[in-house]
């Protein structure tokens, strides 16, 4: 490559930018991702600490109460890496409470080791845990009833750092591999573009020059070395290409015109043919129509379920359905108790909510003995984009075993023919919920029967 070569300029510029930008971008992406994972991990610890502090210290007595392990299931698993611990500080008398996951171990206290507090009054510390793996401890000092005159207790929550490090390490490895492949691909593309992209242009120039020698030049000025030979040929090449395109268009138009009449004749003859051939054409046309209808329906449903602004009041739908279904099953004397969170709304069509809720209530009334229970609440109401409507329908009937619950969602499958119906109710509910990116789950009810839970997008 000459110094005045376009190939050298393109390759050098692209290679330098690639070797500079990709490592820098990779470092920035990795740092941002690590910070985000760290913030998310710390936010989870803060949330758990706040919940445990409120549940254990909001008492009128002189000692904390044992908080329920409802915040993190791994608090119940021995040496899982997730722990909480409550104990008095400075050797003061008082009860010590620990999560089942700690077993007989104890967590070291950042307070005892003189770690400073942050702006929220909490202390952070990374230390080896009971299994030897590093854990991150968050500690807060508080008193029962939040009374400063009472004995102060250290409330600690710990989470495993190996999860954090493994997550970041996997991301770093994937990011490095991806950026390395991108870098190699860019360099290879640059070489290909320079060597093989420009080389055909030079061959084209030589070929055109041998055919169109002596035509008027329209490009002016000094150009890079690779483009100089094309100065006298570019306009001729453009004109020649345009002629080729015009001729191609003419030929295509002629071909279309020539095929139009024979194609119309074939179509008409096929419609009038009453033989087996005509039947086969009609059969295939029917199949094509069914397929088109099927996919149009799917597109319509997809468009409908993704339409923003379709909002349905859950309370209005539930009230109307409860009245109607109680009348349908009045011979059994079934009573439906329903509780709907005020203002709960479903992000979707009213007809779809009626069909899902109606199937669940009808199924519960068929199997229930005396009472059916309906509740509807909205989870995470403070997060608009992640609001979930949770509807629970329970009955006091005989219930189902785990094996039966696993089978009952299959389309058309019925476990007992003594009850009327087609066996499609729960399958319909499951399909409709899935179309809204929701889900149906079956469980045992505390009232003895079946508990059906559907999660749907909330408005």
Averaging pLDDT over each range in 260-264, 307-311, 377-381, which range is the top one?
377-381
Mean pLDDT of the chain: 77
Pairing of strands 134-142, 122-128: antiparallel
Of 83-92, 115-124, 288-297, 439-448, which gets the smallest average pLDDT? 288-297
Q: Check residue 384 and give its pLDDT.
A: 54
Q: What average pLDDT does range 5-27 have in this prediction? A: 80
Half-sphere exposure of 363 (CA within 13 A, CB side): 30
Q: Assign 308 a pLDDT band (cuts: 50, 70, 90).
A: very low
Using the predicted structure, report yes or no on whether residue 332 has a pLDDT greater than 90. Answer: no
Q: Could you give the C-alpha distances from 360 to 32, 314, 320, 322, 337, in angstroms and in order?
A: 46, 14, 14, 11, 14
- What pLDDT, on the 0 to 100 scale, is given for residue 103? 84
User: Which of residues 123 and 283 earns the better pLDDT score?
Assistant: 123
Mean pLDDT calculated for residue range 10-14 = 75
Bridge-based pairing state of the strands 388-395 and 371-379:
antiparallel
Lowest mean pLDDT across 87-101, 152-166, 246-260, 416-430:
246-260
Confidence of residue 228 (pLDDT cuts 50, 70, 90): low
Asked if residue 146 has pLDDT above 90, the reply is no
Report pTM: 0.40
Tell me, what's the pLDDT at 233?
65
pLDDT of residue 452: 92
Which residues are within 8 A (CB) of 69 and not within 5 positions of it... i.e. 6 or more apart? 75, 76, 99, 100
Cα distance between residue 251 and residue 246, in whole Å: 9
Confidence category of residue 252, pLDDT binned at 50, 70, 90: very low
């Amino acid at each position: 490559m000459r110094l005045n070569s376009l190939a050298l300029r393109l390759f050098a510029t692209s290679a330098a930018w690639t070797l500079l930008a990709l490592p820098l971008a990779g470092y920035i992406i990795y740092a941002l991702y690590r910070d985000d994972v760290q913030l998310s991990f710390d936010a989870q610890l803060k949330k758990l600490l706040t919940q445990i502090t409120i549940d254990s210290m909001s008492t009128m007595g002189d000692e904390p109460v044992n908080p329920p392990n409802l915040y993190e299931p791994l608090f119940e698993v021995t040496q899982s890496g997730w722990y909480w611990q409550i104990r008095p500080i400075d050797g003061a008398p008082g009860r010590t409470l620990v999560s089942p996951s700690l077993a007989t171990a104890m967590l070291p206290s950042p307070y005892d080791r003189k770690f400073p507090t942050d702006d929220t009054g909490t202390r952070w510390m990374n230390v080896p845990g009971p299994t030897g793996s590093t854990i991150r401890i968050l500690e807060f000092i508080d008193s029962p009833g939040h009374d400063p005159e009472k004995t102060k207790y250290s409330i600690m929550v710990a989470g495993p750092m190996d999860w954090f490090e493994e997550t970041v390490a996997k991301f770093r490895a994937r990011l490095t591999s991806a950026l390395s492949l991108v870098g190699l691909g860019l360099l290879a593309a640059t070489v290909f573009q320079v060597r093989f992209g420009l080389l055909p242009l030079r061959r084209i120039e030589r070929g055109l020059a041998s055919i169109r020698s002596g035509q008027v030049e329209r490009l002016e000025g000094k150009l890079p070395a690779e483009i100089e030979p094309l100065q006298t040929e570019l306009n001729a090449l453009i004109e020649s290409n345009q002629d080729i395109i015009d001729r191609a268009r003419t030929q295509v138009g002629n071909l279309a015109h020539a095929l139009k009449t024979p194609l119309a004749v074939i179509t008409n003859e096929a419609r009038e043919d009453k033989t087996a051939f005509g039947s086969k054409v009609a059969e295939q046309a029917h199949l094509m129509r069914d397929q088109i209808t099927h996919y149009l329906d799917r597109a319509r449903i997809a468009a409908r379920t993704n339409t923003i602004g379709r909002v349905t009041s859950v309370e209005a739908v539930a009230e109307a359905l409860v009245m109607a279904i109680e009348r349908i099953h009045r011979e059994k004397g079934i009573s439906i108790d329903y509780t709907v969170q005020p203002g709960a709304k479903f992000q979707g069509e009213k007809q779809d909510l009626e069909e899902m809720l109606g199937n669940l209530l009808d199924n519960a009334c068929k199997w229930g003995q005396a009472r059916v229970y309906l509740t509807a609440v909205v989870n995470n109401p403070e997060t608009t984009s992640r609001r979930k409507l949770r509807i629970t329908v329970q009955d006091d009937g005989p219930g189902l075993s785990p094996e039966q619950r696993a089978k009952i969602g299959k389309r058309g499958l019925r476990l007992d023919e003594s009850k009327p119906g087609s066996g499609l109710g729960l399958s319909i509910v499951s399909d409709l919920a899935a179309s809204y990116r929701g889900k149906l789950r079956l469980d045992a009810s505390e009232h003895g029967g079946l508990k059906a839970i559907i999660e749907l997008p909330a408005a």
